[in-house]
Amino acid sequence: MARIVYITGGCRSGKSAFAQKQAEKHSGSLLYVATAEVRDAEMADRVDKHQIARGERWQCLEEPVVLSEKIPPAVGDCSAVLIDCLTLWLSNLLEKYGEDDAKILQEAESLIESLCHLDTTIYIVSNEVGSGIVPENYLARRFRDLAGLLNQTFAEAADEAWLVASGLPLKLK
């Protein structure tokens, strides 16, 4: 049975670094699940820096959409999995499913279900996007609302939840 640890915070809050440090406390190999797609040079540079920071213990699964199908067979004997991040995954789902919010939320439920059957610790990173002003355009408001729903769903399913602000982790549950 999996142990799910949900970690949220604002952009550049230190949540990914915190998640990585927690995962690296486990012995053996580790799996990093990258939901970002490299679409420009700046993103390629970010990915390169993250890969160097992770080191050789980490295997990497690059999957922008179909996490519930791709993660279970990739876990193998990894002692921990780090999924980074749900909000980038949500962007990819919005691109794939358009206005079909029900399909997006179904993908989230499918992912949680598939993770619960794994025999490892899973760290899930997501951005907390609802603390600012209400966006002026429909797509941004929709993204914010869906991100909030996804965050609530994953936080509820998690065994442990953390908020990271200014590099400082605060245990929520």
Q: How far is CA 61 from the centre of its chain?
A: 13
Q: How confident is the model at residue 99 (pLDDT cuts 50, 70, 90)?
A: very high
Structure tokens at 152: 């609530």
The dihedral sign for the CA sequence 42, 48, 54, 57:
positive
pLDDT tens digits along 30-80: 999 999 988 888 988 888 888 888 888 999 999 999 999 999 999 999 999
**pTM for the full model?**
0.95
Could you tell me the CA-to-CA distances from 40 to 36, 37, 64 in Å, in that order?
11, 9, 15
Judge whether 14 and 167 are in contact, CB under 8 Å: yes
Instruction: Look at residue 118 and tell me whether its pLDDT is greater than 90.
Output: yes
Residue 20 Cα distances to 38, 138, 144, angstroms = 21, 34, 25
* 50 has catalytic annotation: yes
| DSSP H stretches of helix in 24-173 | 41-54, 67-75, 86-97, 101-116, 138-157
pLDDT in tens, 128-147: 998 888 889 999 999 999 99
Q: Which two tokens stand for residue 56?
A: 């050789």
* Measured CA distances, 99 to 2, 21, 157 (Å): 32, 37, 25
CA pair distance 40, 26, nearest whole angstrom: 33
Torsion angle (degrees, nearest 10) of CA 61, 114, 148, 132: -20
3-state secondary structure of 77: coil
| Set 3, 26, 50, 54: catalytic member | 50
